[in-house]
Amino acid sequence: MSDAVSNLRNVAKVLRAMDTSDGAGVSLKRSIGTPELDMLDPFLMLDSISTDNADEYIAGFPEHPHRGFETVTYMVEGAMRHQDSMGNEGVLRSGGAQWMTAGSGIVHSEKPEQEGGLLQGFQLWINLPAKDKMIDPRYQNLEPNEVQEFSPAKGVNLRLLAGEMFDKTGPINGISTNPVFVDVKLDAGAEVTIPLPKGHAAVVYVFIGDAVVAQKDVPTHHLAVLANGEGVTLTGGEDGARMLVIAARPLREEVVRYGPFVMSSKKDLMQAFDDFQNGNFVRKAAS
C-alpha cells in the first residue's frame, strides 16, 4: 500500500540499540545519542523503555532541567506521571503522548504511575533552532483517543502523532522542524509505504517483532537510518512487527550541549547552567 510515493528511501545503516540507564536507574535502550550515533540532526536522543520488571523502572526520573530543545514522550503500555516547575501535572497513559518544548527552561520529573506490569514507551529529544531556544516553554498533550489512528490497508495500523499521510494529519502542530512521528503496526507480510518529506532526516525503530525496511531486515530493538528520498516501504516479518517512523527537518546549526542543556554556543551553555543554579528557569507564578 502506498500514498503515491516515488523516489523511495534506502537504508543507510542499521544499528542495535545500546543498553543503558538514566534517571534513578531506569533501564532503557538508546539508539540515538550513543558513541555509534551521537546525533542525527535534529535528533539528539532516542530512548526506549520496554520491561515488565518494576525494579528496572519504578524509581523513574527525578526532578531535572531542560533548555534549548524539545522532548517527545510516547507511551505504548503503562502510565507515567509528570510534574513541572510551571505547576503542570498529569498522567501519560497507554497510547498517549506529550510534546514538550522546553525552550528557555523548565524543571520537571517523570515517575511511573504503576508498581508492576509492563512499561513500554519512548522519549525523543529534538533540537530547537537557535532563534527558538529561549522561547517560552509549552506542552502539547495528547490523550490516546486524540492520536490519529487508522488502517490504510489490510494488516496495517497507523497511529499518527505528527505529519501528514493518507489524507490524515497528526494533531501535533507548530513545530519548527516539521516532524513526522508515526507508530506503525504490521501483520506478518503486510506492507505499507510511509511518505516522508524529501530532505528530512529519518529513522525507523523496530520495537516489537522483526521488519523489512526498504528490503533490509531490521530486528527488534534496532534502528534503521534512512537515506534521502520521499518515502519508505515497510513489511512485517514472520510474526508481524511494530515500529516508530520518525523524520524531521535538519537545522544545520552549531550544537553545544551538556546533559540537559542544548545550546548554540559555549557562552549560551554556561548561561544555562548559571540560570538554573540561580533559580531563573520558568516557575509557577505566585497566587
| Residue 110 annotated as part of some ligand binding site | yes
Is 82 flagged in the annotation as binding? no
Q: Take residue 228 and report the three cell numbers written for it.
A: 534521502
CA-wise closest residue to 202 among 3, 2, 10, 5: 10
CA distances from 270 to 45, 101, 256, 261 (A): 21, 20, 10, 9
Q: Is 77 annotated as a binding residue?
A: no
Question: Other CB atoms closer than 10 Å to residue 33's CB: what's the count?
Answer: 18
Would you state the cell numbers that stand for residue 119, as one nine-digit string? Answer: 512499561
Q: Is 66 annotated as a binding residue?
A: yes
C-alpha cell at 235: 513489511
Binding site for Fe cation: what residues are annotated? 64, 66, 108, 110
Binding site: what residues are annotated? 64, 66, 108, 110
